[in-house]
Each structure stands twice: as C-alpha cells, then as structure tokens.
Amino acid sequence: MMELENLVERFGASARASLAVTHEGTGYFAVTPKAPYDGELSTAEQARQLFEKADARLKEIGSGRDRMVFAAILLRDIGDVASFNAEWDTWMKDVAPPARACFEAKLASPAMKVELIVICAVPDKRAG
Amino acid sequence: MMELENLVERFGASARASLAVTHEGTGYFAVTPKAPYDGELSTAEQARQLFEKADARLKEIGSGRDRMVFAAILLRDIGDVASFNAEWDTWMKDVAPPARACFEAKLASPAMKVELIVICAVPDKRAG
Amino acid sequence: MMELENLVERFGASARASLAVTHEGTGYFAVTPKAPYDGELSTAEQARQLFEKADARLKEIGSGRDRMVFAAILLRDIGDVASFNAEWDTWMKDVAPPARACFEAKLASPAMKVELIVICAVPDKRAG
C-alpha cells in the first residue's frame, strides 16, 4: 500500500480551507471573484475576475482550463445565466470543456454573485 | 509520468460543455430531463426522463447505474422530494446505490424541475 | 483491465443510498446532523452533531478529517455561515483543511440546517 498522506497535496492552505487540493491525479477547488467582493460589479464582470483566478489556480496545481473534468457553477441569480454563459464561452474558446452543472444559490457573501467548483486532471504522482 | 491528456476523455462535447468526461477510472456528468424541458410535467415525470438519459449516458461511458459512487440531486422544489424518491427507488431497485445528497435549487431553465450530478466508476485505461 | 466492480466499495447501503462509497483511493459521502433532525437546535449545534458523524464515517472508510480533499457545505440559512465557520474551525484545528465551498440550500428535511458533502482520500486497493 502506498503512503496515503504522500498522495494528498494542499495549495494555499489556511486554518479554514485550502485553495486547492490534489490527490492521485485529480485536483479539487472552489474559486470566487476577486476579494474583497464588489457587489456593484455585474455577474459577467465577477465571472471574468473568477476565470482569471481559476486560470492561475489551475496552473499552480499543474492543470489547465483544458483539463477540467467537471465544473459546478453557482449563481446568486440564475437570471444571469445567459450573461455568465457568454463569459464562460469566451473562457472555453479553443479548449474542450468539462461536464458542468449550473444552479442558483446564495453564496457566503451577499456581494458574491458567482462561485465555481472545479474538478480537474493533474499530474499523477503515482505514475512512474 | 503518463501522458495527462490521454487520460481525459470527453463525450458529447459542445463548445460550452461536455455531456460527460472520464478521467483515470472516474466519470463525471450532469444530466437533465428531456429537452426541450416541459414545465407541465411533474417532477416525477421529469425524473423518469432524466433516469432514461442517465442510463444511456452511463452506458456510453462504460459505467452503469450500479457503478455510481456519488449523486447530487437538485430539485427545483424540495417539497417534491418524496415523489422524486419514489422514482429514484424504482431506478435503484436491484442495484447498490451511490452515496447521495439532495437539495433545492433553481436550475438553468424555469421549466427544469430536477437535475442530477453523477460521479461514477468507469474502466480505468491505466490498468492492464 | 482490473475488475471494475472490485474497486467500488459501499458502506451502510440501504435501498436508497449508501452512507459512503469508495473507489480507487477516493471516498464520497454526504453527512447530516443526528437523526431525527431537531429543528430547535441551532446551526452550530447541528454542525457539531454532523462533525461527530463525519469523524465516524471517515474512520469507517479508512480516511480521516485530515484527509478530506473537498467539502461542500450546504446551509439552510447562509446567514449562519459565521457560526458554522466557528464550529468548522474547531473541527479543523490542527489538521490541514480541504478545499471547500459553502452555499445556501433548502435541504431534504425542513428541520435540517446543515449538510456536508465530502470527497476524501482512502487507501487505494490497487496499490500493492
């Protein structure tokens, strides 16, 4: 049996949460717009901030926007889904997109209009 | 290190999303009722449509309803959970069910009353 | 190709759901407060019940609170996020926390104020 702990890697860990965790070839994270969240921004504007952060997060863990396998999109107002999707489509231009789900949910801050949960492929340290 | 990209397989990819993605023995997808969504149908009726689509999706990626490991059930009206569960129990008859969570959420279309997020076991291309 | 079914293990399976499922080194489960749910309890009190159940669940499947890779926190009232986080921080004291997301959602029972979805590292039976 391989050492379990060696296979879990945490990125940006605070006392409350890790910004990302990888494990056996799979990465997991949630990403939000730029903090402090600006409730004056539109969902589309917050989405662009979020995607910029997501790109950096993906790169940091050895993945990329072309290696996402699943994305859950949480929108404070599902009525903004069309404007969110326009930004998403730009972000996904020229890459193969993940499977995804999109739903409305109130998020941890009232000023946050979108949050993204990502599961992605990362280098598998078990492979020799 | 194995080739990362070779381990990610996408099914039914459009510009916006893949219908399913598999990666290192695990499959991910979200599935909805039959499109165009018919808001006149009950949650139970939409669930039956969804399960039929899920069976086909699972088969396409080399999995099956008996190989789901996790399911998140999103209901537009959590008050319909009992009628949804009756359909779910029929779907799960004679198979070992996944771990699951169920919660209320407004979905991308007002006519959509249920959506299902699935994580499942698929053949692992690394083995053998 | 390894036997697919041998790699999926279910814990506490009823006709409707498994309490947890493990597959190729990863565990999946959702956990709720102590049943029957007591709507008179605060979110913080229900969270403590939930964490106690989560610890037992994690141990049963060969994982631990220090081996969670992702957690989705569903709160009936997102206004309780601060009191939930205080309990969470106590639970995570001295361990490296998972990546996490937190959002508001009505749950299957009106008396349930919090639910937790967990993805965690477990021993990988493929490793020799």
Judge whether C116 and A2 are in contact, CB under 8 Å: no
**Cβ–Cβ below 8 Å for A108 and C105:** no
Neighbours of chain C (3+ CB pairs under 8 A): A, B
Residue pLDDT, tens place only, C44-101 = 999 999 999 999 999 999 999 999 999 999 999 999 999 999 999 999 999 999 999 9
Nearest to C97 among A16, A24, A30 (CB): A16
In chain C, whose CA is at the least distance from the CA of B85? C16
Segment A35-43 long-range contacts (CB within 8 Å, at least 24 positions apart): A36/A111, A37/A109, A37/A111, A37/A112, A38/A111, A39/A110, A39/A111, A39/A113, A41/A113, A42/A80, A42/A83, A42/A113, A43/A75, A43/A76, A43/A77, A43/A80, A43/A83, A43/A84, A43/A113, A43/A114
CATH superfamily of B4-13+21-127: RutC-like (3.30.1330.40)
CB < 8 Å to A103, chain B: 74, 105-108, 115
In this predicted complex, what is the ipTM? 0.94
Q: State whether residue B77 is helix, strand or coil.
A: coil
Nearest to A124 among B2, B13, B18 (CB): B2
Cis peptide before A33 (omega within 30 of 0): no
B19 alpha carbon, distance to own chain's centre: 10
Average pLDDT, chain A: 94
Residue A125: per-residue pLDDT: 75
Spatial distance between the Cα atoms of A19 and A12, rounded to a whole number of angstroms:
5
Q: Is the pLDDT of residue A2 over 60?
A: no
Judge whether B98 and B69 are in contact, CB under 8 Å: yes
Q: Mark out chain B residues that contact chain C at CB-CB < 8 A.
A: 24-26, 67, 69-70, 72, 78, 81, 85, 88-89, 92-93, 96-105, 119, 121-124, 127-128
Residue pLDDT, tens place only, B51-110 = 999 999 999 999 999 999 999 999 999 999 999 999 999 999 999 999 999 999 999 999
User: How many residue pairs bridge chain B and chain C with CB atoms within 8 Å of each other?
Assistant: 92
Residue C7 binned pLDDT confidence (cut-offs 50, 70, 90): confident
**Cβ–Cβ below 8 Å for B97 and C13:** yes
CB < 8 Å to A28, chain C: 69-70, 98-99, 119
In chain A, whose CA is at the least distance from the CA of C77? A106
CB < 8 Å to A29, chain C: 70, 99
- Name the residue among A61, A60, A64 with its Cα closest to residue A124: A61
Question: pTM of the predicted model, to two decimals?
Answer: 0.96
Spatial distance between the Cα atoms of C63 and C59, rounded to a whole number of angstroms:
5
| Radius of gyration of chain A from its Cα atoms, rounded to whole angstroms | 15
Nearest to B89 among C15, C29, C30 (CB): C15
- Taking every pair of C-alpha atoms in chain B, what is the biggest distance, in angstroms? 52
- Name the residue among A69, A66, A53 with its Cα closest to residue A114: A53
Distance from CA of C12 to the nearest CA of B (A): 9
Return the structure tokens found at A61: 């863990």
Return the structure tokens found at B16: 């916006």
Strands (E), chain C: 8-11, 20-23, 26-31, 68-75, 99-104, 114-121
Buried b / exposed e along C56-78 (16+ C-beta atoms within 10 A): ebbeebbbbbbbbbbbbbbbbeb
Judge whether B11 and B75 are in contact, CB under 8 Å: no
